[in-house]
Amino acid sequence: MTTPPRLSSRVQVVAAGALRVLNTLWPLCRSIRLPQSRSGRVALSLGVVYFVWGSTYLGVHVALGSFPPLLLSGLRNLLAGIGLFVFAMRRRPVMPTLLEVRNAGIVGTTLVGLSSGMLAYGMRTVGTGTAAVMVATVPLFATVIAAATGRRIAKAEWVAVALGLAGIGILSHGGGASGTADGCLAILGGALFWAIGAHLAGRLQLPSDLFLATALQIGLGGGVSTLIAWITGERMMTLHFLPAVAFFYLMLVGTMAAYVAYGYLIRHTSPLVASSCMYVNPVVAVALGALLLGEPVTASTIVATVLILGSVGLSFIFDDRRRGA
Q: What is the pLDDT of residues 140-195, one digit of tens each?
A: 788 788 888 877 777 777 888 888 888 777 776 665 555 677 888 888 889 899 88
Residue 28 located in a structural domain = no
Residue 197 located in a structural domain = yes
Query: What residues in the chain have per-residue pLDDT under 50?
Result: 1-7, 25-26, 28, 325
Query: 274, 266 in Cβ contact below 8 A?
Result: yes
- Domains in the chain: how many in total? 1
Domain boundaries, position 46: 41-324
Reported as a single tens digit per residue, the pLDDT across 3-30 is 444 445 655 555 565 556 555 544 545 5
DSSP state of 255: I
Distance CA 95, CA 216 (A): 12
Helix 258-268 / helix 210-231 crossing angle, nearest 10 deg: 120
Residue 243 located in a structural domain = yes
pLDDT of residue 64: 81
pLDDT of residue 106: 92
Residue 297 located in a structural domain = yes
pLDDT of residue 78: 93
Torsion angles phi and psi, residue 212, rounded to 5: -70, -45
Nearest CA to 45 out of 281, 278, 199, 268 is that of 268
Residue 26 located in a structural domain = no
Q: Is the pTM of this model over 0.85?
A: no
Helix 9-31 / helix 241-249 crossing angle, nearest 10 deg: 50
Distance CA 100, CA 206 (A): 5
Rounded to the nearest 5 degrees, what angle is found at the Cα of 203, between the Cα atoms of 200 and 204?
80
Residue 234 located in a structural domain = yes
Residue 307 located in a structural domain = yes
Residue 105 located in a structural domain = yes
